């Protein structure tokens, strides 16, 4: 359950989420808003800053997407 997340940049996370069916709906400043193509109620925001996402932030993004950590890691 407490799998250690790898260091992931925002761009890598966005690509993995796109493989899971999310599409970028808009970008505002340094944040990217994604919406699931088949279920528009599944929305999430990814901060696009330099460097890697913090593990807590990445874990929250994964939880909002409705995936498990293992499913997300398979998409990387």
- Whether 5 maps to a domain, the answer reads no
Confidence of residue 2 (pLDDT cuts 50, 70, 90): low
- Whether 58 maps to a domain, the answer reads yes
- What's the CATH code of the domain at 48? 3.30.920.30
- Whether 2 maps to a domain, the answer reads no
- Is it the case that residue 63 has pLDDT exceeding 70? yes
- Whether 3 maps to a domain, the answer reads no
CA nearest to 36, candidates 49, 25, 23, 45:
23
- Whether 4 maps to a domain, the answer reads no
Host domain of residue 34: 10-75
- Whether 59 maps to a domain, the answer reads yes
Q: Helix (H) and strand (E) counts for the chain? A: 3, 3
Total domain count for the chain? 1
Mean pLDDT of all residues in the chain?
94
């Amino acid at each position: 359950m407490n799998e250690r997340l790898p260091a992931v940049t925002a761009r890598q996370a966005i690509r993995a989420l796109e493989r899971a069916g999310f599409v970028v709906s808009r970008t505002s400043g340094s944040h990217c808003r994604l919406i699931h193509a088949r279920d528009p109620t599944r929305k999430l925001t990814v901060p696009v800053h330099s460097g890697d996402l913090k593990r807590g932030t990445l874990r929250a993004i994964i939880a909002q997407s409705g995936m498990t950590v293992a499913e997300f890691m398979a998409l990387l």
